[in-house]
Amino acid sequence: MLKLLRKFGRPFLGLFFVAVVLLIGRATMELTLPALMSDIVDVGIGQGGIDYLVPTQMTPENRARLDAMLPEGATEEYIAAALAEMYYGSPDFDPRVKNQLATRFIREEYARLGVDTDALQMNYVWTMGRTMIIITLLAVTAAVTQGFVSARIATGMARNIRKSIFAKVTGFNNAEYNQFSTASLITRSTNDVNQVQALMAMAVRIIIFSPIMGIGGVLMVLGTDASMAWVIALAVGAIVTFIILFIIIATPKFKIMQKLIDKVNLVTREGLTGIMVIRAFTAQAHETARFDEVNTKLRRTQLFLARLGALQMPIISLIMGLAYVLIIWIGGASINEGNLMVGDMMAFITYTMFIVWSFLMLAMVAIMLPRAQVAAGRILEIINTEQKILDPENPADLDTNRGDISFEGVSFKFPEAVGYALKDISFTAKSGEMTAIVGSTGSGKTSLVNLIPRFYDTTAGRVLVNGADVRNVTQKALRDLIGYVPQKALLFSGTIESNIQYAGDVDAEAAAVAARIAQAEGFINEKPGKYEEEISQGGTNVSGGQRQRLAIARAIAKNPKIYIFDDSFSALDYKTDAALRAAIKDELSGATMIVVASRINTIKNADKIIVLDEGRVVGQGRHEELLKTCDVYIQIANSQLSTHELAERGGA
């Protein structure tokens, strides 16, 4: 948690300082109120509003008696003791009780002299009361302002954490992304950040304020009556012990709970995205049971923590109640013996409440702290994940006028994999040419094209774009040259136009041209909103073929020098496929085309066809040549083309 605070708390140090100042001011004012209340009880009520122990007026007889009792230069305390003796005899009381006896004598003396003692008393009470009201209003103002500042700090930090997580995840390569499940990334970006935000909102208000109030309360208590301080020490020790035990027991459970939340999100996400498959296989009961299993585990963990948290208030209330009983018992005896004032007793109880309340608030934070600590650790796992694909310190210049690609002895294996996905790949794709990549499932086609935009780095060998190693140029410069259409066409929520213009610097006219080339113009114009037609999340409100055409239009609108089509025509019918290939050949003739395809008809007119088998190049050439020289290609062709088509090409 501290690492997260150090990383994201610096921009809010100014606000944090303001909050601390407000908290100190508020604590000081609130700690002043019990002392003022004590003065109202002891001085305003008990002493009739007389707070100065040297009488300003006296009858001649009593003045003579007092002068006879006092030595030269007598202090106020000595005068008060003399007055108490005149009033009560020779009392063996606490000095504060003697002061109160002295003020009673002064009050009666003033009454004998005709002074309005009731007015004197009310004037004192109203003066102290107004002071308490003003201090209370200032404390409330400080509390409200500090609450606003705390909210700004907590929400601001949460915003920056979410932004950092999102920026980090979008910068992951495929290997780094696969370290976390999608459900876990969503939970960490939302639920975990919310836990940290909630703790921060309470931390500024409670973790800082409570110790100030607690320490201040202890100091004030020691100034009131140290003989009962052991009661508070005993109560605080019991509460701290409970808090420590709670943290020790709860922390492992919170770790389990966060993982179970990930699991619930995962199962829920799979159930929602795979709803059609679930229905098709009538697996509703199986999926319900699967969800119920993980949901029940989460419930049991949450119930355990809820029960543990439910013990908090009863135990602390019991401790507080016992502390109050001891204070009243001991304090009552002290009052009876004349060693403690009633107002001091009330102030002591109030300060005790402050101290216990401070630790009660800390106990509430203790419930949140383990979960927030776990959440912070999960967040830092993402933020501290080391990215393998980084821009070089001194990037080379990249020619942006063409799109030549060369593979030189390229081998690649996935992180932590034993075998190679690609082995010793070498070929060249030139500008203005179409290079097709074919092969059986699992032969490494997608892995090969993913090396071009540097979604992965090669294990051995080099991938060159316009003569520059892709590892020696910036990722932005490299990817600005590439229009990429992935295997699974993905659209973003928004409009058709916003999806086509996703590359950024694309106007409406360029978007329309791209849609025409991608054979999407027809169905777009049939939509009620045309280019302003809304696209739902993932493009679920359009067909698979329409999604593919919009994804292709998005790449074309970027006007890159290199196009990578990773099996991007599989959802198109033969007529649309042929029309699209013809339009691409006519309109994008100057660009480099890398086409991964499973259908021979899609790539049979390519300038070069690379045939992969188990990660190796087993054939390279044009369609006609491969039908004569490459057994793997012949097998693929035999499975797709008619005997007549094969005979026309001179194949087997």
Rg (CA), the chain: 41
CATH, residue 513: 3.40.50.300
Query: For residue 361, is it within any domain?
Result: yes
Give the residue-averaged pLDDT of 204-233: 75
pLDDT at 439: 86
Q: Which of 336, 355, 383 is the last residue of a domain?
A: 383
Length of the chain: 652
pLDDT at 335: 74
Query: For residue 393, is it within any domain?
Result: no
pLDDT in tens, 118-148: 888 888 889 999 999 999 999 999 989 988 8
Mark whether 428 and 547 lie in a shared domain.
no
Kindly give the interhelix angle for 574-587 and 508-517, rounded to the nearest 10 degrees: 130
**Amino acid residing at 529:** G
Mark whether 310 and 223 lie in a shared domain.
yes
Burial of 276 (0-12, 13-18, 19+ CB in 10 A): exposed
Query: For residue 142, is it within any domain?
Result: yes
Return the HEC string of 141-168: HHHHHHHHHHHHHHHHHHHHHHHHHHHH
Mark whether 498 and 569 lie in a shared domain.
no
Structure tokens at 421: 């996905």
Structure tokens at 576: 């649309």
Give the residue-averaged pLDDT of 35-41: 84
Mark whether 225 and 277 lie in a shared domain.
yes
pLDDT at 644: 55
Element (H, E) at 436: strand 434-439
Give the residue-averaged pLDDT of 532-555: 86
pLDDT at 428: 93
Give the residue-averaged pLDDT of 467-477: 91
pLDDT in tens, 138-184: 999 998 998 889 889 889 999 999 999 888 888 887 777 777 877 78
Mark whether 509 and 442 lie in a shared domain.
no
Q: Is the pTM for the entire model greater than 0.85?
A: no
pLDDT at 316: 77
What is the distance between the alpha carbons of residues 143 and 181, in angstroms, rounded to a whole number? Answer: 42
CB-based contacts of 427: which residues, under 8 Å, 6+ apart?
406, 407, 435, 608, 610, 617, 620
Query: For residue 276, is it within any domain?
Result: yes
- Tell me the residue range of the domain where 28 lies: 2-39+123-383
Query: For residue 516, is it within any domain?
Result: yes
Query: For residue 112, is it within any domain?
Result: no
Mark whether 189 and 331 lie in a shared domain.
yes
Number of domains in the chain: 3
Mark whether 602 and 497 lie in a shared domain.
no
Q: Which of 349, 383, 417 is the last residue of a domain?
A: 383
Q: Write down the mean pLDDT value for the chain.
A: 83
pLDDT in tens, 283-299: 888 888 888 988 899 99
Mark whether 471 and 519 lie in a shared domain.
no
Q: Which of 559, 578, 597 is the last residue of a domain?
A: 559
Burial of 645 (0-12, 13-18, 19+ CB in 10 A): middle
pLDDT at 226: 52
Mark whether 322 and 249 lie in a shared domain.
yes
pLDDT in tens, 598-630: 778 778 888 999 999 888 999 999 988 888 888
pLDDT in tens, 393-443: 888 988 888 899 999 999 998 877 788 899 999 999 999 899 999 988 888
Mark whether 178 and 232 lie in a shared domain.
yes
Query: For residue 150, is it within any domain?
Result: yes
Question: Which residues in 553-596 belong to E strands, given as ranges?
Answer: 562-566, 592-596
Query: For residue 391, is it within any domain?
Result: no
Reply yes or no on whether the pLDDT at 640 is more than 70. yes
Reply yes or no on whether the pLDDT at 648 is more than 70. no
Closest-CA residue to 55 (of 35, 32, 28, 82): 82
pLDDT in tens, 348-369: 788 877 887 787 777 777 777 7
Mark whether 508 and 543 lie in a shared domain.
yes
**Contact criterion met (CB below 8 Å) for 431 and 403:** yes
Reply yes or no on whether the pLDDT at 652 is more than 50. no
Reply yes or no on whether the pLDDT at 645 is more than 60. no
Mark whether 553 and 647 lie in a shared domain.
no
pLDDT at 92: 67
Reply yes or no on whether the pLDDT at 651 is more than 50. no
